[in-house]
Structure 1
Amino acid sequence: MANIQKITGKRGSSYRVQFMKNGRRIGQTFKTKKAAEAFMAQLIVYDDMADALTHSSLSTILIDSAITAFLDQYKGRDRSIIQRLGWWADRLKGKPVGKVSRQHIKSALEALQKDEKSPGTLNRYKAAISSVFQWFNDKHDVKHNPAREVRQKTEDNGCTRFLSDDELSRLLKAASASKWERLHLLIHMAIATGARRSELINLKWADIDFQRKTARLPRTKNEDPRILALTASVIQELMPFRQVGDVYLFPHTSELHGPFEHFDHHWKACLIEAAITDFRFHDLRHTCASLLAMNGATLLEIANHLGHKTLAMVMRYAHLCVAHKSALTERVFGDITSIEK
């Protein structure tokens, strides 16, 4: 139980909050009674705050060490998480896990925002460090995640980039002339399936069912398996490269094993040849969704095709469905007055 003790010395009075937690007695001193009372109130309301100050793991293990341990066991496919957590390790270096506060996380993200990072990027950084706290909590049976206390940034979906018909034609033509013979296939599959870069690049021939025209993703970003529907033209383009077994569809060009993860120089050369600017590989996923929307797919169908669990992530394409909705409304109700007698 916490209590406040007034201490009078040569420099005046101060107020010390003392409390016992996890078998340890902790004390914090404040200049004013009001500050001490506010701190004690937080201890009562937020049990994890007291844990953070007293639990041995939270007070002795440094956050940069926790990040290293997290990455050592990380088996996900998000390549960016290494860079993001490296940034967090440098930013918070030397602090015990339990001493990392909401204000530390908030200040760090504010610094990133000054570097003109987008709201979406800031959210990805916050999610990365939150994953470390969540893993640490499970491992050490504690409860401390200050990242969850920081408000999520509102992402602007109005700037979603996708290819026009002319750009799409130029991109595919440039891909056909690429020095990497499988770049056209990769781009073709990305547009037709809406799958993520990492999902496609890690596909193996054993995942392809030529009879059913499907590709099985054993594990996606959402940690769930998913089946991709393949078009006849994708199947036709796959055939010349066809192999069997545990072999990657897009193998590294110079190594015996492993996928060709870093094909960016071929991708950038393709964009230059096609005269396309301000476009990322991930925007092929947006292009897939936009083509579906403009050709009459519902938001639910788009979400299912892209593998989203909720409609929230596909609302950015809602405005593209307007023309289809107008045509549907006209077809069903346009001549309704003709039934009047």
Structure 2
Amino acid sequence: MGETDKSGNDPVTGKPLPKGVWYRGPGQYQARKMVDGKRLRKTFASSALARRWLSEKRAEVDLRQFKDTSAIDRLPIRQLVERYRDECMAHREADRTGHIPALLDDPVVGVMVGKWMPADVRAFRDRMLADGYAPATVVKRLNLLASIIQHAISEWDIHTVNHASGRVVKRPAGADKKRNRRLSSKTGFNVNSNKTENEQGKTEYERLIGAMLTSCHSDDVWLVRWSIEQACRLAESLSLRWKDIDFEQKTISLERVKNERHREELGDEKRPLTPGARRVLLKCRSLHLI
């Protein structure tokens, strides 16, 4: 073991080492303690740190708060991410193919669960920002990592601290800025604009319809008009059939929705048919366009 075996003193200071602490070499002091028949070992840079660790473990044992973390000291975060992906994300294809690979490509998943610190999460955040990711994307991935760790703590009995939590690591500013999904009704002429003279002075809706009129598919403009009136996503609009529309009850039945889990558990989603969308459909049917 070293010179401790002979004298019980610290070769560096010449003072007696605390009970349960051994000198292993320059800057290496190993603390040992038996708990429930299992020997715990940990090496520190000084005898004072080793003694403090022993005192903490004795207190935890006396208060029956001791938790053996030797297993997670050898468990990389990567294994938690992969297990969460395989067991908990069957219905989240976008995250499985987008955010999870980004997590697995970052050095943060190589850190052992028992040894990771807030600094590891901050470094993960700063690397994403340096790579040019939007603040909202960075927050999404930080929150995903926090959810994975919290799930491991509550469901898999992984004894660690959730350093990815928003209470521990600050999120980048500007991530809570909401996207404006509404078409602008403002018009006006801007001499610095790249738009042509015909485009200027028109609303955003008028410019959009004008662009669709140039499509080689004549029904594209009707699809866009209906989607705007009904506030449907593209996939939802394309999946709609005449049998899905109830003009009397003024409802539509959507087979494809963003939340696929809703469809699998509850069936097709029913939504009210808006007056504007109903007018578009009736006009299209009268003109035999669809």
What TM bracket, shorter-length normalisation? 0.5 to 0.7
Aligned Cα RMSD in Å?
Answer: 4.8
Counterpart selection for 1:91 from 106, 109, 112: 106
Aligned residue for 1:88, secondary structure, equals: helix
Q: Residues of 2 paired with 1:196 and 1:75: CA distance?
A: 22
Greater length-normalized contact order (CA 8 Å, ≥ 6 residues apart): 1
What SS does structure 2 have at the residue aligned with 1:146? coil
Q: Superposed, which structure 2 residues align to 1:298-309 within 5 Å?
A: none
Q: Does residue 1:212 correspond to 2:255, yes or no?
A: no
1:234 maps to which of 241, 255, 277: 277
Conserved 8 A contact 1:175-1:183: yes
- Residue 146 of structure 1 corresponds to 163
Structure 1 residue 88, shift from structure 2 partner: 1.1
Query: What amino acid is the match of 2:146?
Result: S
Residue 151 of structure 2 is aligned to residue 114 of structure 1: no
- Select the structure of larger CA radius of gyration: 2
Give the number of aligned pairs.
232
User: In the alignment, is the contact (CA less than 8 A) between 2:33 and 2:41 conserved in 1?
Assistant: yes
Amino acid at match of 1:213: T
Q: CA deviation at 1:108?
A: 0.9
Which of 166, 175, 194 lines up with 2:212 in the alignment?
Answer: 175
Against the structure 1 CA distance between its residues 185 and 140, is the aligned structure 2 distance closer, same or farther, given a 3 Å change threshold? Answer: farther
More helix by share: 1
TM-score, normalised by the number of residues in structure 1: 0.49
For the 8 Å contact 1:4–1:15, the answer to whether it is kept is: no
- Contact 1:129–1:147 (Cα < 8 Å) also in 2: yes
Mapping of residues 1-341 of structure 1, within 5 Å: 5-11=20-26, 14=29, 16=31, 18=33, 20=35, 25-32=39-46, 35-36=49-50, 37=52, 50=67, 53-55=69-71, 58=72, 62-73=76-87, 74-77=89-92, 79-92=94-107, 94-137=110-153, 140-144=156-160, 145-148=162-165, 149-155=168-174, 160-161=179-180, 163-165=183-185, 166-178=203-215, 187-188=224-225, 191-192=228-229, 200=236, 210=247, 211-214=249-252, 228-237=271-280
SS at match of 1:116: coil
Q: Which runs of 5+ in 1 are unaligned?
A: 242-341
Percent identity over the alignment? 18
The amino acid of 1:142's aligned partner reads I
Give the conservation status (yes or no) of the 8 Å contact 2:252–2:270: yes
What TM-score do the two structures reach when normalised by structure 2? 0.55
